[in-house]
Chain A
Amino acid sequence: MWEMIVSELTQAMQELARGFAHLLPRIIVVMIMALVGWVVAYLAKVILRGILRLIKFDKLSENAGASQLLTKAALPSATDLLCRFVFWIAWLGFILLGVQALGIVGLQEQIAKFFLFLPRLFVALLIMFFGLLLATFLSRAALLAAVNANFPAPRLLSVSVRTIIIIFVLSMAFEEVGVAEQTVLVAFGVAFGALMLGLAIAFGTGGKELAQQFLEKRFGRGRKDEGKEDELSPL
């Protein structure tokens, strides 16, 4: 009986060893890939950091308002974040490539899907980034214009502009990565439509006088004299 166990064990051990010996080169391959990947990823990170510094990416993201968001979330600066992100993606990519070599079937499919997903993720991030930039710029422009034109609710206008653009951008980003596409689309459509309708009604009825003033200022050449005061030019 003891001999049977020993011989089974030995057999199993032998099989294991055999299997292991069979697998070993592949594991070594994976490890080599991982190592190479680390080096490449590190290089990529350094190069990317250099490029981003050159284009003053930090500044850009500050303008976008992204920096503020990151600081609030106690995350590192945009450049750092991006570099680390790229590093990890690159390294992960290489590791996965190596794992692919192991030849485990189900895993291969998932890995392929992952690689297919990456570009879309990148695009979505890009959309969000530039969308944020645009939103900040336009909302500030609207704010300044409203303040200088003596509009009654400048901040409201500014925030509205920002919100609309962010919603729009988010929807685009989600659609790009394919997360809850339909839901997002519909929700956005409804919200946007309602907002526009609401604004139109409000503007048309409540803001009649404002509309009149606005139109006069913009398109009226013969300005009706306010009658009461003189206006002197600043220059």
Chain B
Amino acid sequence: MAEESFLTDDFLGQLISVGEVDILVGVPTHNNTKTIGSIIETIQAGILTFFPRERAAIINADGGSRDGTPQLVVGAAIGDAQRSSKLYALRTLRSISTQYASSPASGTALRTILAAAELLRAKACAVISPESTQMTTDWLAALLRPVYSETSDLVLPTYSRHRFDGILLTNLLYPMTRAVYGLRIREPYALEFAFSGRLGSQFLAQNAWHEETARAGSEMQFTLAAIAGGYRICQSFLGTKQHVERHSADLVQAMRQTVGALFFSLEPNFSLWSTKAGSQPIPTTGAEQEFTLEPVRINRKQLREMFSTGVAELESVFQSILSPSTLAELQRIAGLEETSFCYSAELWVKTVYEFAAAYHKSVISRDHIIQALAPLFRGRAFTFLTENHNGSAANVEDNVEALCLEFERMKPYLLKIWNGRE
């Protein structure tokens, strides 16, 4: 049974009132007053359209919003008085909120939602990001139906994305997760996904709630826990991914949450992934991934510059992490002209694997290892952008696939350097 001591009395009281549900939708928020209204409305419409007879509840885990976000969520509940929504509600649709901390921590938010799902014995749960303004009611059906009909334990999304959106995903997270864990999961770090009550309880019971994961990275851990536990995973096509404007400094933070979580997972799951070879596709509803080809201007030059600077300035750090041959190669390409610059797939894979091994051995502080990877990633991003600058969507997909196969091919290398000293 899960530890409930981090749930407030008030929230527990609300959960008692809600009672058992069939469907639970969790929305973690922090100052999302601009978008939360339409998100909740879409969720409600989705529930009323696709699950009109099921008992459902919306749980908001809020990280100390000051702009009235939780009130908006709670105010949207459909209770004894029928709201003037276009859809008729056969049942009460509860919408409750709790503040889990005074500052956002996605891990704790997820944990709150999982605890609620377990206490309410929800059969199918979904987590929806409050920033997905392009969400439609179909998303709920796409995510929840496979779980509710008991054909799947975890449903991850696939999107129609711009081909240059999510380079970290296409060049590191997807290929490496695929190579290491043997499953072709396009979005191992998903902001919206659905899972069965079974899987939720299992994840909740694990002692995975360190300070680290409380702050970030638990979505990835969730996916990895599902893989490790042998749960049925599938993918569902949702639609267009919201393009979120982000600051470049967020790259390090993003890497901490995703790459950090991925590297962190390798050690405890060693017995699971060390014996796998190749990769299997997972059942997918709708398109597996779509790339759109809108023209976009990106400052590629800066990427390359930051790569070169990184290689030069961080030499002492890299000496602790990389093998001498890899480092030498990196230094060589750092000196190349922009036109002939190429961070090849093979070199990239070697880099990543050596970083993973270094992380495992904690040669230096693990957080520093992740930070050190950032400039190298920028170099790889530059190459990726260059290679796919004029390509079609199919070309991009082919290149990503080729990179994946490279990761898979070089997996023995990772195993070799995992424990041995280079």
In the bound assembly, the distance between CA atoms of A158 and B252 in angstroms comes to 18
With contacts A140-B364, A228-B297 taken as known, whether A233 is within 8 angstroms of B306 at the C-beta atoms is no
The listed residue with most A CB atoms (<10 A of its CB), out of B297, B306, B313, B317, is B313
In the bound assembly, the distance between CA atoms of A146 and B314 in angstroms comes to 10
In the bound assembly, the distance between CA atoms of A141 and B165 in angstroms comes to 28
Residues of the B chain whose Cβ atoms lie less than 8 Å from the Cβ of A109: none
Residues of the A chain whose Cβ atoms lie less than 8 Å from the Cβ of B162: 232
A3 within 8 A of B: no
Q: Are A232 and B317 in contact (CB under 8 A)?
A: no
Segment of B70-78, B88-96, B196-204, B368-376 in the binding face: B368-376
Which residues of B, 304-335, contact A by the 8 Å Cβ criterion?
A: 305-306, 309-310, 313-314, 317
Closest B-chain residue to A152, C-beta based?
Answer: B309
Q: Are A217 and B317 in contact (CB under 8 A)?
A: no
Q: Are B371 and A235 in contact (CB under 8 A)?
A: no
Contact string, A92-110, partner B, CB cutoff 8 A, digits 1/0?
Answer: 0000000000000000000
Q: Are B317 and A143 in contact (CB under 8 A)?
A: yes
Contact string, A28-44, partner B, CB cutoff 8 A, digits 1/0?
Answer: 00000000000000000
Residues of the B chain whose Cβ atoms lie less than 8 Å from the Cβ of A158: 313
B245 within 8 A of A: yes
Q: Are B165 and A232 in contact (CB under 8 A)?
A: yes
Q: Are A137 and B314 in contact (CB under 8 A)?
A: no
Q: Are A217 and B365 in contact (CB under 8 A)?
A: no
Q: Are A148 and B364 in contact (CB under 8 A)?
A: no
B382 within 8 A of A: no
With contacts A148-B249, A148-B374 taken as known, whether A233 is within 8 angstroms of B244 at the C-beta atoms is yes
A144 within 8 A of B: yes
Residues of the B chain whose Cβ atoms lie less than 8 Å from the Cβ of A137: 365
Segment of B54-62, B105-113, B166-174, B278-286 in the binding face: B166-174
Residues of the A chain whose Cβ atoms lie less than 8 Å from the Cβ of B310: 147-148
Which of A144, A150, A217 is within 8 Å of B372, CB to CB?
A144
In the bound assembly, the distance between CA atoms of A232 and B317 in angstroms comes to 28
Q: Number of contacts between A and B (CB, 8 Å)?
A: 97
B296 within 8 A of A: yes
A196 within 8 A of B: no
Q: Are B168 and A232 in contact (CB under 8 A)?
A: no
Q: Is the interface of B mostly helix, strand, loop or mixed?
A: helix
In the bound assembly, the distance between CA atoms of A155 and B365 in angstroms comes to 19
A199 within 8 A of B: no
With contacts A144-B371, A147-B306 taken as known, whether A234 is within 8 angstroms of B251 at the C-beta atoms is yes
In the bound assembly, the distance between CA atoms of A231 and B299 in angstroms comes to 8
* Distance to closest chain A CB from B403 (angstroms): 16
Closest B-chain residue to A68, C-beta based?
Answer: B316
Residues of the B chain whose Cβ atoms lie less than 8 Å from the Cβ of A231: 245-248, 298-299
Q: Are B167 and A140 in contact (CB under 8 A)?
A: no
Q: Are A233 and B165 in contact (CB under 8 A)?
A: yes
In the bound assembly, the distance between CA atoms of A143 and B169 in angstroms comes to 26
Residues of the A chain whose Cβ atoms lie less than 8 Å from the Cβ of B371: 141, 144-145, 148
Q: Are B306 and A232 in contact (CB under 8 A)?
A: no
Residues of the B chain whose Cβ atoms lie less than 8 Å from the Cβ of A143: 313-314, 317
- Chain A interface size band reads 20 to 34
Q: Are B302 and A150 in contact (CB under 8 A)?
A: yes
Residues of the A chain whose Cβ atoms lie less than 8 Å from the Cβ of B168: 234-235
Residues of the B chain whose Cβ atoms lie less than 8 Å from the Cβ of A63: 364-365
Residues of the A chain whose Cβ atoms lie less than 8 Å from the Cβ of B169: 234-235
In the bound assembly, the distance between CA atoms of A9 and B381 in angstroms comes to 97
* Distance to closest chain A CB from B73 (angstroms): 24
Closest A-chain residue to B377, C-beta based?
Answer: A234
Q: Are A147 and B249 in contact (CB under 8 A)?
A: no
Which of A140, A147, A148, A229 is within 8 Å of B299, CB to CB?
A229
Which residues of B, 377-391, contact A by the 8 Å Cβ criterion?
A: 377, 381
Residues of the B chain whose Cβ atoms lie less than 8 Å from the Cβ of A150: 248, 302, 305-306, 309
In the bound assembly, the distance between CA atoms of A73 and B364 in angstroms comes to 23
In the bound assembly, the distance between CA atoms of A228 and B300 in angstroms comes to 12
Which of B246, B313, B372 is within 8 Å of A233, CB to CB?
B246
Q: Are A235 and B309 in contact (CB under 8 A)?
A: no
Which residues of A, 195-235, contact B by the 8 Å Cβ criterion?
A: 217, 223, 228-235
Which residues of B, 107-142, contact A by the 8 Å Cβ criterion?
A: none
In the bound assembly, the distance between CA atoms of A47 and B189 in angstroms comes to 48
Which residues of B, 231-254, contact A by the 8 Å Cβ criterion?
A: 243-252, 254
* Distance to closest chain B CB from A162 (angstroms): 11
Q: Are B317 and A230 in contact (CB under 8 A)?
A: no
Residues of the A chain whose Cβ atoms lie less than 8 Å from the Cβ of B245: 231, 233
Q: Are B302 and A148 in contact (CB under 8 A)?
A: no
Q: Are A144 and B368 in contact (CB under 8 A)?
A: yes
Which residues of A, 45-95, contact B by the 8 Å Cβ criterion?
A: 63
* Distance to closest chain B CB from A163 (angstroms): 15
Closest B-chain residue to A234, C-beta based?
Answer: B168
Q: Are B247 and A147 in contact (CB under 8 A)?
A: no
Chosen A-B contacts, 23 in total, with CB atoms closer than 8 Å, are: A63-B364, A140-B365, A140-B368, A143-B317, A147-B313, A147-B375, A148-B306, A148-B310, A148-B375, A149-B249, A150-B302, A155-B313, A228-B297, A229-B298, A231-B299, A232-B162, A232-B165, A232-B166, A233-B165, A233-B243, A233-B246, A233-B250, A234-B168
Q: B residues touching A (Cβ–Cβ < 8 Å)?
A: 162, 164-169, 173, 189, 243-252, 254-255, 258, 296-299, 302, 305-306, 309-310, 313-314, 317, 364-365, 368, 371-372, 374-375, 377, 381
Q: A residues touching B (Cβ–Cβ < 8 Å)?
A: 63, 137, 140-141, 143-150, 154-155, 158, 217, 223, 228-235
Beyond A140-B365, A229-B297, A232-B166, list 11 extra A-B contacts (CB 8 Å): A147-B306, A147-B309, A148-B251, A154-B313, A223-B247, A231-B247, A232-B243, A233-B254, A234-B167, A234-B246, A234-B250
- The 7 A-B residue pairs with the shortest CB-CB distance, nearest first, are A234-B168, A144-B371, A229-B299, A233-B246, A154-B313, A229-B297, A230-B296
